[in-house]
Amino acid sequence: MHLDLENNLNPAQLEAVTHTQGPLLVIAGAGSGKTRTVVYRLAHLVGQGESPESILLLTFTRKAAQEMLNRASHLLGQGLHGVSGGTFHSFAYSVLRRYGQDLGLRPDLTILDRGDAEDVLAQVREAKGLAKGDRSFPKKGTVMSLISKSRNKELDLEQIIQKDSSHFLPYVQDLQRIAQGYHQFKLDYGLLDYDDLLFQFERLLKERSDLRDFLAQRYSHIMVDEYQDTNLVQGRLVKLLAGESGNIMAVGDDAQSIYSFRGATVSNILEFTRSFPQTRVVKLEQNYRSTQPILSLSNQILAGAREKYEKRLFTLREEGGKPQLLRPLSDQSQASVVMNTIMDLARSYDLGDIAVLFRAGFQSYHLELALAKSGLDFQKFGGMRFTEAAHIKDVVAHLRLASNPTDLPAWQRAMGLISGVGPKTCQRLYDHLVKQDFQALRKACGSKPGLQEALDMVNWLREHRSDPPQDIVDKIREYYSPRLKERFPDDYPKRENGLEQLSQIASGYSDLELFLSDLSLENPEQLGGRQVKENALTLSTVHSAKGLEWSAVIIIDLVEDRFPSRHALMDMEGMEEERRLFYVACTRAKEYLGLSMPESLFNRFQGRSEPARPSPFIQEFTHGSYEELRENYTGGMVRPQEQKQTRGHAAGPESDQPNPVSAHCRHRVFGQGKVLSFIPPNKYKVNFPGFGLKVVIGDYLQFEETG
DNA sequence: ACCTGATATCCGATC
DNA sequence: GATATCAGGT
């Protein structure tokens, strides 16, 4: 099939697609058809006779890789089976699993996910008797972040703490001891955390140059997406795999680098041409996504950035309204203001084409409650993850024991479910297990009811580890079900749904190890394929929204300490990153962009609302680049200058004339409410329990006869 | 010695 | 909602 590159690509895209020999760096501005370019390049390569097996496509998520492959094979009219694709971590895992024995790694290598790693840290701290009773000692999650940051940025723990958590400086020595103990623990029990996957992969390539050569030869074309979010070790891995003059294509946008907290460094992309001297640089500058007013506002955000590849984004989509600055009275009323805006937008757009974005997962809390109450369908990305939920981890721990019975964290989790068994007993049982001291195990069963059953379960798992993963999951669910109800009496039905979902996902696998590694290495929302709802509103952290787009986007909580996050103010780089993050958020919008900036925040500490300071990014915008709407005390939105109602047709003076129809009414979103007054010509002021006072157009209300 | 349950405190983004 | 600690029970 002929691809007709000339008619489907602009000149810059065409250059990127057809430059297939030697290093290539594509600086792809937001919405500039980056994915399209990669897809066409894949199709072009294979169309020219390149074997799919020789292509390696490294992306940020597996889903991204799969989507690109699907689109490319659609273009080409032939499957692209054989292309290696995925994340750096999953690629590292697959190579280590195959060749890691040379490094002394076991074939059933176990990946320590974030939660496990934190539990190990807590254990180490306990064992070393550190920080007893000291409430200001960093929590295990914080300790984990510090250790991981230090490894990813390849700086001493002390330097990391000095740079952005100097209040922990008194604990440097303790933290170093914990880090050391953590390292030892992983060695002792044959465990790898996320960071180890990359570093061990690098070690393997360095120590086994024959393997490096083999892989470099096999992957004659390497493409790396989101290059601005790679860290130092990933940069070196690319170099090892490609060689200095290899056919390596890196795609990215330095303006969208938002992962420095996990060690990503913009310098990888800024210095790409130094690493690969013969690099051809191509800039994609035409934006196909956003209207001019949205793009202009976004470009203003970037104007203040310090270090960057110069590029100028332009669009041919001149038409379109100005971005709106929404100013709710408080973060609580923000939920209803945003909901009203969504209802308005829903008249022009599908719900699936609308998104609400925020800096941190918890910020959508109020909105989620309001949405749940209204019955409006929504899906949330970011924040608490599916695989991090306790009940999922419980079941997965058993799965892991099926694969590797000496997986200590999994063992602790599984045995800890039995009442009367805690950390100490777990450890003792584990010691018996590895020593094959069955007599001691049997003895322990006498005093702990339920233990025998648990051990039988583990035995069953070991014997059936080659069964289809779904069968194993279901067997564990059967065993786990009564414990689930005991452990979560309030919400076990919901959690049972989660386990059903896990079983669904398992049905797509025939290999247990692969299933387990995907569970810890891939975003599970994307694992099953079509868990993503068709026509639902999207709530998402900005990070999880990377690479996506919607017709209408609302960004909430644009106040100091929230966006930019208060954690970002510790150093200069942090602020720069918040700026890029805000840029990423704004450039997700195609036609409508709403920026919500509540005037006050509820302070739980003081039990009342306090004035909020506007986000500095908003203050940088030139006057006239947006339209401002302020919430007034009746719940409507007004332009501050004109003091005029913007909803409905006319803004008549409010009258207290009683509503002629009835005292109660029903609204599709807010539910039942009490009518307080009629506002000519067609609105009503209504008090909705849970939502407060609203001014609503009569057409949206159903009046009820009440006594 | 070890486990469980109650209580106060805090909350960043991800492979 | 999760973490950390403390008091009280076995």
A119 CA → B5 C1’, Å: 20
Each residue's pLDDT tens digit, A13-36 = 999 999 999 999 999 999 999 999
The separation, in Å, between residue A465 CA and nucleotide B8 C1' comes to 44
Q: Which nucleotides of C are covered by protein (CB under 7 A)?
A: 1-6
Average pLDDT over residues A476-502: 88
CA of A412 to C1' of B5 (A): 20
Confidence check: pLDDT of A570 > 80? no
Q: State residue A689's pLDDT score.
A: 65
CA dist list (Å): A35 to A31, A40, A269: 9, 9, 18
CB A172 within 7 Å, strand C:
no
Residue A468: pLDDT over 80: yes
pLDDT category at A705 given cuts 50, 70, 90 is low
Token duo for residue A95:
């190579």
Query: Binning pLDDT at 50, 70 and 90, where does residue A493 land?
Result: confident
Q: What's the pTM value of the predicted model, to 2 decimals?
A: 0.86
- Other CB atoms closer than 10 Å to residue A267's CB: what's the count? 14
pLDDT of residue A583: 95
Gap from A417 CA to B4 C1', Å: 12
Beta bridge partners of A443: none
Q: N- to C-terminal Cα distance for chain A?
A: 72
pLDDT greater than 50 at residue A529: no
Q: Rounded to an integer, what distance in angstroms lies between the CA atom of residue A450 and that of residue A457?
A: 11
pLDDT in tens, A269-301: 989 999 999 999 999 999 999 999 999 999 999
Nucleotides of B under 7 A from a protein CB: 1-4, 11-15
Residues A209-235: what's their mean pLDDT? 95
Distance measured from the CA of protein residue A384 to the C1' of nucleotide C5, in angstroms: 25
Nucleotide whose C1' lies closest to the alpha carbon of residue A142: B12
According to DSSP, the residues that pair with A110 across neighbouring strands are: A191
Residue written as token pair 């960071």 = A195
In A23-171, alpha helices (H): 34-47, 62-76, 88-99, 114-127, 140-153, 157-164
> Per-residue pLDDT tens for A623-640?
899 999 999 887 788 887
- Mean pLDDT, range A593-601, rounded to an integer: 94
Q: How far is the CA of A170 from the C1' of C6 (A)?
A: 25
Q: Interior CA angle at A572 toward A567 and A575, to 5°?
A: 55
Q: Which residue is nearest to nucleotide C4 (CA to C1')?
A: A135
Residue A139 CB lies within 7 Å of the nucleic strand C = yes
Nucleotide nearest to A390 (CA to C1'): C2
The answer on pLDDT for A656 being more than 80 is no
Mean predicted confidence (pLDDT) in A172-177: 94
Once rounded to an integer, what is the mean pLDDT over residues A214-243?
95
Least confident of A361-375, A526-540, A590-604, A605-619: A526-540
CA–C1' span, A333 to B14, in Å? 31
Whether nucleic acid strand C comes within 7 Å of the CB of A103, the answer is: no
A132 CB and strand C closer than 7 A: yes
Could you tell me the distance in Å between the CA of residue A120 and the C1' of nucleotide C7?
26
Which residue's alpha carbon is at the shortest distance from the C1' of C3?
Answer: A139
Which residue has its C-alpha nearest to nucleotide C10's C1'? A420
Q: How far is the CA of A564 from the C1' of B12 (A)?
A: 11
CA distance A167 to A538: 37
- What is the number of other CB atoms lying within 10 angstroms of the CB of residue A187? 10
Mean pLDDT is lowest, of A312-316, A400-404, A457-461, A578-582, for A312-316
**Average model confidence (pLDDT) for chain A?**
88
Question: Listing from the earlier edge strand, what are the strands of the sheet with A248-252?
Answer: A84-86, A55-58, A221-224, A248-252, A24-28, A280-284
Give me the mean pLDDT over the A380-408 stretch.
91
Q: Is the CB of A131 under 7 A from strand C?
A: yes
The CA–C1' separation of A549 and B4, in angstroms, is 48
